[in-house]
Amino acid sequence: MPNYVRDITTLQSHAVMWWTEKSKEENTTVSVIPRLLETQEDFISILQLSKNSPTQIFDLVKAAEFPANLFLKHLAVISDYDGELIQILGRNFTTIFTKVDQTGNPIMNYVWRGNNYQYIFESMPVKGLSNKKLNIDGNGLKLDKSFDSLKRDMTMILLYASTSNISGYAGLDACLLGSLLGNEVALERHIKQRYIVVSRITGGANANSLGQLAQNYIVKYLKVN
């Protein structure tokens, strides 16, 4: 292998000074933030139409043919509910949601537009709750997924948990977006303010992903050379 431990000028003559197109293409599968920004208007429109019931959102997502896993990712980002918090929630689910219905299924009591509601969990608790299990990690978002019982459970938590009596646990006090449904102005303002923050970290996320790709490329290069 050639020895490139030389002066700066010689190094520059051999170095790749810009990210290759292949690296950029690979990076798009790593960073999901650009896709969220591209679809935020559709996401907002769905939420603004949800005025009739706290669960109308599921019918609207289906009617709009909006991927459920992408919708759930939007909710997680808006609520600043990251993968670590999701794992903490999963590990502590039974100690947080202690109330059950007549059949023993855990429930969440919550408030929407001044009225009390009860949600009966369909799948939770589950072992190993994570972004991957919810199909909202980088690889999971490559494929559009419809709502299943687990995604519905997580969606209800992200929408309404802040209005429940367990809001003080596992960061659930940030899950307040559902309380804004029916108030179009407040809803749009809250989401767009949050996406201003998200857009500011897009560059950092892309740089980090490209750095990882570069590291992997160097390791592969050294192995074969």
pLDDT digits (tens, 9 = 90+) for 169-202: 999 999 999 999 988 888 888 988 887 776 554 4
DSSP 127: T
- Contact by Cβ (8 Å): 86, 75: no
Which phi and psi angles does 101 have, rounded to 5°?
-90, -170
Q: pLDDT tens digits for 102-115?
A: 999 999 999 999 99
Omega of the bond leading into 125 within 30 degrees of 0 (cis):
yes
What pLDDT does residue 138 have? 84
Taking CB atoms within 8 Å and a gap of at least 24, the contacts of 215-220 are: 217/23
Chain center to CA of 197: 15
Q: pLDDT tens digits for 59-74?
A: 999 999 999 999 999 9
Q: Where are the alpha helices (DSSP H) in 17-170?
A: 21-30, 33-38, 40-49, 56-63, 68-78, 83-91, 93-96, 149-160
Q: Delimit the domains of the chain by residue range.
A: 35-200
DSSP 106: B
Which phi and psi angles does 123 have, rounded to 5°?
-120, -40
HSE-up of residue 209 (Cα within 13 Å, Cβ side): 19
Quick one: tokens of 37?
Answer: 């920004």
